[in-house]
Amino acid sequence: MMDILMYLFETYIHSDAELMVDQDELSEELLRAGFHQEDIYKALEWLEKLAALQETEETPYMNSCAVTSMRVYTAQEMVRLDTASRGFLTYLEQIHVLGADTREMVIDRVMELDTTDFTLDDLKWIILMVLFNAPGNESAYSQMEELLYGMEDGYIH
């Protein structure tokens, strides 16, 4: 499923190409690209839930929390998010790329993935997708892009 999400993000969202609204047409394109039907449906549902995070007031983590609050991970979250991933999330909060609300959106989307093999690189993609979808986080999105692409090129500051 991560492959489909990354494909969609690179092909349509990140490249500013026009995203087709018709899910049937999009599904057909993904099938032609070699993805399996079941994975396509799961990925599209995952993206719909990501978009829905912006539209609900019922989600508890969308409410404000104290700046001094500390995130405690559940056992299931710790299985999915290894020490490096949790450390990366903390780092992004410290440099103000993620806030408590966007961090929780990232964790929500990570936990909804249908995968047993989740890496730090996968987390970085999820963070980009969440920041891209969260209104008012354009600066954080740009900063995250700079972090990722700068690190890939060997520029660590």
The tens digit of pLDDT for each residue in 20-64 reads 457 788 888 899 999 999 999 999 899 888 888 776 555 545 555
What is the pLDDT at residue 86? 96
In which band, very low, low, confident or very high, does the pLDDT at 155 lie, cut at 50, 70 and 90?
very low
- Number of domains composing the chain: 1
Please provide residue 63's backbone torsions phi and psi, each rounded to the nearest 5 degrees. Answer: -80, 155
Task: Supply the pTM of this predicted model.
Answer: 0.80
- Report the alpha-carbon angle 8-147-76, nearest 5: 65
Split at pLDDT 50, 70, 90, the class of 156 is very low
47 within 8 A of 60, measured Cβ to Cβ: no
Phi, psi of 118 (to 5 degrees): -120, 130
pLDDT of res. 75: 95
pLDDT in tens, 126-140: 999 999 888 888 899
Domain that holds residue 64: 1-153
- Greatest alpha-carbon pair distance for the chain in Å reads 49
Confidence at residue 68, expressed as pLDDT on a 0 to 100 scale: 66
What does the pLDDT read at residue 131? 92
- For residues 39 and 4, the answer to whether their CB atoms sit within 8 Å is yes
